[in-house]
Amino acid sequence: MQIKREREREKDLTAHKHKGKTMTTQILKKHEAKVNVTQETSKFSLIAVMTMASLVGIWALACLIGGLASSGTGNLVMGYITAVFGN
């Protein structure tokens, strides 16, 4: 008896859905997603800072390789010492 009522109800619902020529979906379960805005902002900021730090490191390595290629190791070390300690 109970199964018969459920089938009739389903038929009524599907007939109602197609009658207006618009399809609707029933929501069976509803849940809320709790989002901590502060945590998400911190994650984004950390990722942005780490990305920029990585780019600066890659650029520094490229400059070091370029300096080694153009003037050699001796001139590069001598130039570094002069830059740090002066004449």
- Give ∠ CA 82-85-87 in degrees, rounded to 5: 55
Q: What residues contact residue 76 under an 8 Å CB cut-off, 6+ apart?
A: 67, 68
Q: CA-to-CA distance for 31 and 43, rounded, in angstroms?
A: 24
User: What domain count does the chain have?
Assistant: 1
Tell me which of 18 and 32 has the higher pLDDT.
32
Which range of residues forms the domain containing residue 40?
2-27+34-85
Give the C-alpha separation, 7 to 31, whole Å.
27
Assess whether pLDDT exceeds 60 at residue 41: yes
Phi, psi of 3 (to 5 degrees): -65, -40
| All residues at 6 or more sequence positions from 24 whose CB lies less than 8 Å from its CB, including other chains | 17
Confidence of residue 5 (pLDDT cuts 50, 70, 90): confident
The answer to whether the pTM exceeds 0.85 is no
